[in-house]
Amino acid sequence: MFCSCAASYQEMEPNTLVCPVCMGMPGSLPVINREAVRLTILTGLALNCNIGELTKFDRKNYPYPDLMKGYQISQFDRPIASLGQLSIGIGEEQKTVGITRVHLEEDVAKLLHRSEDHGEKYSLLDINRSGVPLMEIVSEPDMRSPEEARSYLTKLHSILQYTGVSTANMEEGSFRCDANISVRTKGSDELGSKVEIKNMNSFRSVYQALHHETQRQTQAAKDGLRIVQETRGWVEDSGVTVSQRSKEYASDYRYFPDPDIPPIHLDISWIEQIRSSLPELPEALKARLIEQYQISDYDSEQLTQDKSVTSFFEKVMESGTKIAIEKPTLAKSAVNWILGEMTRLMNANGSDIQKLLIKPADLVKLIDMVRAGILNSNMAKEVFEKMFKTGRDPESIIQESGVTQISDTTSIEAFVDTAISNNPQPVEDYISGKDSAMQFLMGQVMKITSGKANPQMVTKLLKAKLDPKKSP
């Protein structure tokens, strides 16, 4: 934030990205990162905030061992952006969450906690992260449930991705959440003591931590116990929060303007230039996908949660212009594959779309093969899984494995005749009015053909041969 050290510290050896400024050496002076300011303004505009023409940096004082200077350079009463809002949805309900402020500060060093074999505990300090630009977004206390908090985070995550401000990867620490939660007596306007929860590294963790803490505080209130203002840590394995330390008030930090950094006057023309560079944001994109491809509101919502997923979908649709499939039909099939099998395989393999080997054009080919009757749904899933693992096109996979659907009438008729002759009792059951026997006979044909027969053609031929034998 205030020095020239690289911000990409995640894969670096500890304490290799250091300099006198981020180490807090005497005599070193901070210099503001202009790009960090620009990205913060961009975020503020995307969140419908007011951008202050005058902003400044302050010293936030607290005695933690991860503070190299003994204080943190942050912003107090003059943030870059403030008074914004973000619309979220829970089912069909919509609500607006106020954005208190968006400000810049420097990140702190990373503490690594260790234990000796004999049980003695100690901590190590990695300074690589110290001084990295950290943008903090503070919301108003407008959320009333863990579901609303999750919806808010999901929406915010998407906006940061689409604006290019951050990769927003929670596992890497590029998107973090500290959640403040309190309970109040029903009918009262007075909120109880605020508890801050840390150590959550996924949307699921945030939801579970808030759900647990809601129950804990509610029970404490019912039991007449005092809820203290504190910071608690989420323990993923046990599904509980544990007390870490008492929570400071703003006055405890003893903020004062940083004497080494003069106030910053943000030029209005620069702000407007940044505003003009705003990309298509998730809400506008969602509406466009619904109109352009005639997909459902739900499907559009799911697609636009991740910029890379949206990009993959639109590349599929672009590739699909070369085949004779109506746009809405192709779009629906593509959505089903992306949100269904593709998501399932990525989750099962701990992967994400950034590492996806499947090419958009190859997914179009697979969809077309299903439409043409070359593959049935089960065969297509088998081929898709091989595409996912290898990145190969569906044609070569089919050629190698021999996986194709039998759609030849003469061939299928022979298999149907075999199933009828080998299963006289189910045939008799169907003729006498037991329609469920048809499923058994179909199963026999599919068994004979190893699942390769076109199921629609099998049903049609079975009915053509057996329905005339039914009693009027």
26 located within any domain: no
**Is 88's pLDDT higher than 70?**
yes
If phi > 0 it is left, if psi is from -120 to 50 it is alpha, else beta; for residue 373 that is: left
How many CA within 13 A on the CB side of residue 241? 30
If phi > 0 it is left, if psi is from -120 to 50 it is alpha, else beta; for residue 337 that is: alpha
User: If pLDDT is split at 50, 70 and 90, which confidence band does 209 have?
Assistant: very high
Report the percentage of the chain scoring pLDDT > 70: 98
How many CA within 13 A on the CB side of residue 368? 20
> Please, where are the H alpha helices in 349-402?
360-371, 377-390, 394-401
- The b-or-e profile of 50-80 (16+ CB within 10 A means b, else e) is ebbeebbbbbbeeeeebbbbebbbbbbebbb
Last residue of a domain, one of 240, 275, 310: 275
> Please, where are the H alpha helices in 304-454?
307-319, 327-337, 343-348, 360-371, 377-390, 394-401, 409-422, 424-431, 437-448
399 or 256, greater pLDDT: 256
Give this prediction's pTM: 0.79
Residues 288, 232, single domain; the answer is no
Per-residue confidence (pLDDT) for residue 406, from 0 to 100? 67
Top-confidence range, 71-80, 193-202, 419-428: 71-80
R_g over Cα of the chain: 30
Residue 240 structural domain = 34-275
Top-confidence range, 179-188, 291-300, 371-380: 291-300
2 located within any domain: no
Tally of domains within the chain: 3
Residues 172, 311, single domain; the answer is no
Q: How far is CA 46 from CA 76, 97, 292, 378, in A?
A: 21, 14, 23, 43
User: If pLDDT is split at 50, 70 and 90, which confidence band does 206 have?
Assistant: very high
Residues 258, 333, single domain; the answer is no
pLDDT digits (tens, 9 = 90+) for 243-298: 988 876 667 889 999 999 999 999 999 999 999 999 999 999 999 999 999 999 99
340 located within any domain: yes
Average pLDDT, the chain: 89
Residues 236, 107, single domain; the answer is yes
Top-confidence range, 242-246, 299-303, 373-377: 299-303
Of 144-158, 218-232, 268-282, 440-454, the one with minimum mean pLDDT is 440-454
Question: In what order do the strands lie in the sheet containing 72-74?
Answer: 72-74, 58-60, 256-257
Helix axes 203-222 and 146-163, enclosed angle (nearest 10): 150
Query: 154: Cβ–Cβ under 8 A, 6 or more apart, which residues?
Result: 203, 305
Residues 269, 303, single domain; the answer is no
pLDDT digits (tens, 9 = 90+) for 123-135: 999 999 999 999 9
Residues 361, 308, single domain; the answer is yes
Per-residue confidence (pLDDT) for residue 472, from 0 to 100? 66
Q: How far apart (Å, rounded) are the C-alpha atoms in residues 395 and 281?
A: 37
- Look up residue 355 and give its DSSP letter: G
Residues 303, 241, single domain; the answer is no
Compute the average pLDDT of residues 226-230.
89
CA angle in degrees (0–180, nearest 5) for 115-120-125: 50
Per-residue confidence (pLDDT) for residue 402, from 0 to 100? 67
Per-residue confidence (pLDDT) for residue 248, from 0 to 100? 67
Per-residue confidence (pLDDT) for residue 462, from 0 to 100? 87
Residues 386, 454, single domain; the answer is no
Residues 332, 417, single domain; the answer is no
User: If pLDDT is split at 50, 70 and 90, which confidence band does 410 have?
Assistant: confident
343 located within any domain: yes
User: If pLDDT is split at 50, 70 and 90, which confidence band does 322 have?
Assistant: confident
Per-residue confidence (pLDDT) for residue 405, from 0 to 100? 63
Last residue of a domain, one of 258, 275, 292: 275
Per-residue confidence (pLDDT) for residue 430, from 0 to 100? 86
Residues 38, 170, single domain; the answer is yes
23 located within any domain: no
Per-residue confidence (pLDDT) for residue 249, from 0 to 100? 67
Residues 309, 337, single domain; the answer is yes
Per-residue confidence (pLDDT) for residue 251, from 0 to 100? 73
User: If pLDDT is split at 50, 70 and 90, which confidence band does 32 have?
Assistant: very high
**Is 357's pLDDT higher than 80?**
yes
Residues 155, 302, single domain; the answer is no
Q: How far apart (Å, rounded) are the C-alpha atoms in residues 406 and 375?
A: 8
Query: 254: Cβ–Cβ under 8 A, 6 or more apart, which residues?
Result: 61
Last residue of a domain, one of 401, 424, 449: 401
Report the percentage of the chain scoring pLDDT > 90: 56
